[in-house]
Structure formats: C-alpha cells, structure tokens
Amino acid sequence: MKDISTQVWAVDALGALAHETRLAVFRMLVKAGPDGMIAGAIAEKQGVPPSTMSHHLGMLERAGLVASERESRLIHYRTDYLGMRRLLAFLMQDCCQGAPEMCADLTSELSCAAFQPHDA
C-alpha cells in the first residue's frame, strides 16, 4: 500500500494543476527555467488580474509545485523542480506492471533540448 501522506500530497498537487490558468502558469514557469518570472509578468502574460494571479500562484506554491522569493517589492516565482519530480515519480511509480521496458522511451515524448537526439 502506498504511503497515504504521499497520495494525499499528490491529490493536492494534481488538484492545483486541474485549472486551466494554473496549468498554463506552471507550464510557463517550467519553460522559463530556473530564472522563473516576476508575478506581475506572469499575470500580464496570462491576461489575468494580479490579485487573481496571486491566488493561483499561492495554490501552486502550497501544492509544492512552485516556489517564491521576495525581491524588494516584487515576488519572483520559479518551478519547484523537486516537487515536480516528486509528482512525476508518484505517477510513474507503478508504471508498466513490472515491465520497465514499456516506459523506457518515455523521455522521447519530451521536446526538451536535453532529450533531443543530437546529429552526429
């Protein structure tokens, strides 16, 4: 049986992502990389009022998927890569019914440059 606290956390994290704006923001922050983005720029890019965006960012942060850092009067948000990996690991933990070769090429689905095959 899975650790119940991990399962509860995963449900919260998935719940945070189960909203169009929050999912778009999370993906935008993943794309932004370790530099992240300022809250105001996130709101502007998503076309969402700053107070509404604050609510969405707070939910993602409480779910352990983004982290914030205050820089003077600005709040900088970044993907919490440890939280993202934790969620992905939870989702894939029992993958392939004991046949890991079924999931071996999963990274080929990613468009990350790090996973792109390089020309020889």
Q: What is the pLDDT of residue 110?
A: 67
Strand ordering across the sheet containing 66-71: 37-38, 74-79, 66-71
CA distances from 103 to 84, 106, 108 (A): 18, 5, 10
Q: For every one of its 120 residues, what pLDDT tens digit does the chain have, with 9 covering 90 and above?
A: 356 798 999 999 999 999 999 999 999 999 999 999 999 999 999 999 999 999 999 999 999 999 999 989 999 999 999 999 999 888 887 777 767 777 777 767 766 554 444 343
pLDDT at residue 117, rounded to an integer: 42
Q: Look at residue 120 in the predicted model and tell me its pLDDT.
A: 33
Determine the pLDDT at residue 106. Answer: 72
Whole-number pLDDT of residue 119: 40
| CA 76/CA 38 separation, integer angstroms | 4
| Domains of the chain (ranges, CATH numbers) | 4-115 (1.10.10.10)
